[in-house]
Structure 1
Amino acid sequence: MKHENTTKPAKFNRDFARSALKIIYSVLTKILFPEELLSALLKASGSYLSRLGKDGRRALRKLNVVQVEDVRDALRKMGRMTLRGVRDRRVAVDFHVIPQYHANKSFLSRIKPTKGTSWGLVQAAIFLLGRKRRFLDVIPVTVKNVAEGFKAVMEVIVKELEEDKLRLVMVFADKEFAVNEVIRFLLELGLDFVISAKAQMYKKYEGMLQSVDVSFGGVRYTGFLCVRHGTGAYLIILRKEDGKIIAFLVRREIDLHDAIVLAEMYRERWGIENAFRSLEEFRIR
């Protein structure tokens, strides 16, 4: 009998379920799911499908019937429940990219080639600022070119926020969004932003950093520079004790202290890395 190689489909199923389970556990509350689905998910947690037998297959079948719009509606309802009694309605939006390797590119966007792929899943997560730092919603970004389609995406997000009487004050974004069109558009909106800079943006400035000696949160910084970027934004460059460079773009000129605080905010991103980067080991950037 001819043996058929099932390694690739099996791996795809394991990756799919592992990703789905982590996202569900990280983002959704248990009350959103029926008991039978919760039971299967709980049994499946902590191990790959290949080690689970019936429980793993049952979980995968139930995950496959979950409709995207049902999940979106559940997220919106959960976000509105969070907003009850909240006076400080300032929010931040986090644009992040997760490299993907699926054959179907229907819901993926072009990204900077990384880890063997030039396609990625782009999401915009909305967070409540102030004393209650809470996750409110996640919006999939399905335009093929995120830079060209950024304005349209932002218009949808702003409209959704206005419906809930929320005020957008900060945008965080991966380096895929560090392009002139996006930066200029955010400057026109007057929004504060922190966008990870591409290497070609800061390489020529590495030898010009001012010497500093400041420790914050257990991290020692030895270099700093704030320089005007061609778009009108400001490029911030920090050097850590080990020589690693942290560079990002912001709306206005800032001092060393504010630069370190923003770098720490970008690093934390309210748990965004843990919640959505589910197919790769999490490392603080």
Structure 2
Amino acid sequence: MDAEFNRTYITLGGYVGVDKYGYLYFVILLALYLLILCTNLTIIYVICIHRNLHEPMYIFIAALSVNSVLFSTTIYPKLFIDVLSQRQIISHSACMFQYFMFYSLSTSDILLLSAMAYDRYVSICKPLQYSTIMGRITVTVLLTVAWLIPAVKVAVAIVVNSKQKLCDFTTDGFFCNNKVYRLYCVQSTFLNLYGLISMLNVVAVPAILIIFTYIKIFIITYHSCFEVRKKATETCLPHLMVLMCWFFLCVFDVISARLESDLPKSVHVIMSLQVVVYGPLFNPIIYGVKMKEISKHIKRLLCHLSTKSI
């Protein structure tokens, strides 16, 4: 076992009724995956081809959609295989890769949302300095930080954890999240402390920044004219909706990872599905419907496609 544990296969025991409803699950998951790809790729395409959308706010939205595509592609294809298989297993290395993508991209989302909050703050509270503050270099640095820091933090945890041995080989989830830590023989004190510090750095600090920026935005818009309040509502409301969605997804993930294993599997499935469906699917829908400029270009694209097909 000492020489082989990194090649160990882990059983994903969170599936319910695969023998009876496997094909139904496959159709539902495939429909969700295709819908996620279509909505997010549409957002990315519209932002890329229209020069008036080459602004920081829309660039961050496109980055969120890129994250959603990568996140879904990491999770869903494996689900397709599992619901049609007699045994739902995953290799230890593949599980760690899925874990890495899951948490690095999820953490990247909150940093991108923080960058968007800062962008809205500068746009509304310091409009005359906006072009200077939110220049190309600033946007590039914010994107780099949002993608690089989470990847490094999660990678460090995985490298340290790779030295731990497995004593259990069955997790009650259907993809690799924090539940995999229950499989190790010894719980690492260093990793627990590292995880707490990392959470404070990449979750608590951005949350404080977001709260601060929106308090400032609220104060400024409250004392401004109707047009300023209208503009702030149009751009900030979708952002707040996505933030609330991200917050609840984090709560679902934390709760599902901490739930006792004797609870019904259906509860675990429902909790886990919140994480892999809501964010990747709702984000592009919210921005596509609520963001006026994006919505306008999407409608034109759909009209062009329908006219061309006729």
Normalising by structure 2, report the TM-score. 0.27
Q: Which has the higher helix share?
A: 2
Q: Which has the higher strand share?
A: 1
